[in-house]
Amino acid sequence: MKRFIISAAIVIASIAGLIAALPYFVSSDAVREQILKQAVQVTGREMSFREAPRVLFNPFLGIEINSVIFEDPFAGPDDPPLLQMDHLRGQLDLFSAIFGRAEIKLFQFIRPKFNFRIYENGDVGWHFPEGQVWDVLEKARDQGTAQEGEAVTEVAELPVVKLGEFEIVDGIIEFEDRSTQSRETITNINARIVWPDTASPLTVSGSSIWRDEAFEFTLASQEALMLFSGGGTALEFMANSGAFTTSFAGIANTLSDLHLSGDVHFASPSLRRFLNFLGEPVLPGSTLAEFEAAGKMTGTVRQIQLNDATISLDGNQGSGVLQIARRKPGKVLINGTLAYDAIDFTPYFSALRQEIAIGKNTIPASDLLQLADMDLRLSATEAKIDEISLANFAASLSVQDNRSVFNIGNANLFGGVLVGEFGLAENGAISEFKANAIYSDFDVALVNAALGRSQLNLLGRGKAQIDIQSSGSAAIDLARNLKGQVQFKISDGFLTGIDMGTLRSTVLSAQSGSDTLEPGGQTAFDLLEGNVAFNRSSSWIRSMHLHAPDVSAQIAGRSALDLSAIALRLRIGPPVEATERPDQEDQEFNNDTLVLVGGSVDNPIVTWVPIIATPSN
């Protein structure tokens, strides 16, 4: 037993001594030559460095080369190299080193800077048209071209190029596209790339900072060689940051462009923050906040389609199809059809009211008109605006050439049907708003109840046509400058608060005029139709005619909408057919009565003045 222990100790000591002595048997020149040879074989590019390499003992047995440069063959005299790094470290394979072979199992890039450029003529600095990897890619392309139908290139039939594991420590990527004059910088890159050879899966994981956002990311490809050679392979990808998180699992191919097909998920705590991350100047706001999308994705980096998609924005979740395409110069086109169980527009109207109240010198969401063209079709079982509910809601949103149009194709509101078009256009610093709507067969009593009216009310079934317009440089300007008209007809209804028949009888039997009358009662009518114009906070009754079984009336006057104040003149006469009403309000009729209504809608004051009949000749 003692001999065994002594023998084991000798063996262990010998192995330890051999390992400890390895650095003295490893030739730094041999390792250097191996690294240079491997770099040329794999990429076809020469690598240079300024200082002699040295053997490492810590953090592993290996070699370190300082001031490494990898040239860009298309670079000009003032352009930086494709890759430059402070230190290149290579970890030696321990087993190979025992037998005197210098094989590198891990490469560490310490503070590397990658300068990726696309030149005006289309050349790219990172393209390697030589080397073993290029030869394998060419064979893979030729094999894929020779195959027919849906046949898949077999990686096992291709030569295998040994690659290895790579670590990037505190790296930087500078990307420059000189054809578009665009630049990107990614800093603080710490990543691990594992690709043992061209026949093996590729995995990438790491972190970085891009556009002031800290990222974590992972990527896994089963047959990365196929992806690089124009074929297809399974691909999984994940990125996580404060601005957004995204993941993809499916098939990727590069037959013509990078094409993805699979399950995708995207989420952002603030859509505005994500758009700002993309470099689009979007102003802060309470809406366009939490956003999430998931579905079956097909498309390229320039055009994406989501099928069976679930889209959520500001708590409104819908499903359907969504297409996103990038247009030049940098504008996005969004098409889609989305269905909702319920959609709540309250946050957007609340934001509008808030901006009006504080006098903010902006138009809500007008900056979004610059970012994307849209053609969205929306439907919902219920759409809400505060306490107002619209059933069987169907609408579309179109944005093009700095003009947005929200078109309501159907909305059941207060027993009626609302259709209309609401548009906002940018004309320099001025925004122009227009709205046209037709509201048919609605219950007038429900509208009055929503408006909170208590005294002068209307009952019946109505139809109205509404035309509104405004302009201004801020939301408060649009609210102040509203003007337009409303034409309406109400059939088989009641006017509560005034009994015109009783008023007329009282006035005709009275001995003197200008007496105050107590409002009350109601007037049943067959038809009430009119045209009301409004500008800013005032409205005018251009014409209004009431036809009842026992009376007829012409109504004119104005109202201060912000104060609910009214000043109306009711000319009450005997009943006439609707087709027989006079076109001129100053035309005299025998037995007419003039009633004045002032005060407010909720507290009207009614007075009367007799009209002296003109004797007939």
pLDDT of 146 higher than 60: no
Same domain? 399 vs 335: yes
238 vs 98, more confident: 238
What pLDDT is recorded for position 568?
A: 84
Q: Name the domain boundary from 472, 502, 526.
A: 472
pLDDT of 578 higher than 60: no
464 vs 289, more confident: 464
Vertex 22: Cα angle to 17 and 28 (nearest 5): 160
What pLDDT is recorded for position 587?
A: 44
Helix, strand, coil % in the chain, rounded to nearest 5: 20, 50, 30
DSSP 266-306: EEES-HHHHHHHTT------SSS--EEEEEEEEEESSEEEE
pLDDT, averaged across the chain: 79
Residue 229 lies in a domain: no
Same domain? 329 vs 375: yes
Cα–Cα distance, 265 to 269 (Å, whole number): 14
Mean pLDDT, range 604-611, rounded to an integer: 71
State both tokens at 478: 């649009």
Contact indicator for 163, 249 with CB cutoff of 8 Å = no
Same domain? 570 vs 437: no
Q: Name the domain boundary from 451, 472, 493.
A: 472
Same domain? 419 vs 491: no
- pLDDT (tens digit per residue) in 534-568: 888 788 888 889 999 888 888 888 887 666 788 88
Q: Of 103-117, 271-285, 476-490, where does mean pLDDT reach its minimum?
A: 271-285
Same domain? 338 vs 466: yes
Task: For residue 372, give its domain range.
Answer: 266-472
What pLDDT is recorded for position 174?
A: 93
Query: Residue 572's pLDDT band (boundaries 50, 70, 90)?
Result: confident
Query: Residue 35's pLDDT band (boundaries 50, 70, 90)?
Result: low
User: Could you count the other beta carbons within 10 Å of the beta carbon of residue 524?
Assistant: 17
Query: Residue 581's pLDDT band (boundaries 50, 70, 90)?
Result: very low
Residue 368 lies in a domain: yes
- pLDDT (tens digit per residue) in 170-183: 999 999 888 888 88
483 vs 9, more confident: 483
Mean pLDDT, range 188-201, rounded to an integer: 91
What pLDDT is recorded for position 381?
A: 95
pTM: 0.77
Query: Residue 151's pLDDT band (boundaries 50, 70, 90)?
Result: very low
What pLDDT is recorded for position 585?
A: 45
Q: Name the domain boundary from 472, 500, 526.
A: 472
Same domain? 454 vs 590: no
Residue 568 lies in a domain: yes
- pLDDT (tens digit per residue) in 318-338: 999 999 887 655 678 889 999
Cα–Cα distance, 254 to 78 (Å, whole number): 33
Residue 32 lies in a domain: no
Same domain? 427 vs 511: no
Same domain? 383 vs 293: yes
What type of residue sits at position 493? G
Residue 388 lies in a domain: yes
What pLDDT is recorded for position 483?
A: 92
What pLDDT is recorded for position 14?
A: 43
Residue 428 lies in a domain: yes
What pLDDT is recorded for position 199?
A: 84
pLDDT of 256 higher than 50: yes
Contact indicator for 323, 279 with CB cutoff of 8 Å = no
Residue 181 lies in a domain: no
What pLDDT is recorded for position 32?
A: 61
Q: Of 41-45, 422-426, 521-525, where does mean pLDDT reach its minimum?
A: 41-45
Residue 77 lies in a domain: no
Query: Residue 522's pLDDT band (boundaries 50, 70, 90)?
Result: confident
pLDDT of 257 higher than 80: no
Same domain? 548 vs 445: no
Same domain? 461 vs 494: no
Strand pairing of 538-547 and 522-535? Answer: antiparallel
Rg of the chain (C-alpha set): 39
DSSP symbol at 477: H
Query: Residue 474's pLDDT band (boundaries 50, 70, 90)?
Result: confident
- pLDDT (tens digit per residue) in 357-382: 776 666 666 666 677 788 999 999 99
Query: Residue 515's pLDDT band (boundaries 50, 70, 90)?
Result: low
User: Could you count the other beta carbons within 10 Å of the beta carbon of residue 121?
Assistant: 8
Same domain? 606 vs 494: yes
Q: Of 129-133, 152-156, 309-313, 471-475, where does mean pLDDT reach its minimum?
A: 152-156
The secondary structure element, H or E, covering residue 16 is helix 2-25
The total of structural domains in the chain comes to 2
What pLDDT is recorded for position 409?
A: 94
Same domain? 462 vs 496: no
Instruction: Tell me how far the alpha carbon of residue 223 is from its chain's centroid.
Output: 34
Of the segments 6-15, 203-212, 491-500, which one has the largest average pLDDT value?
203-212
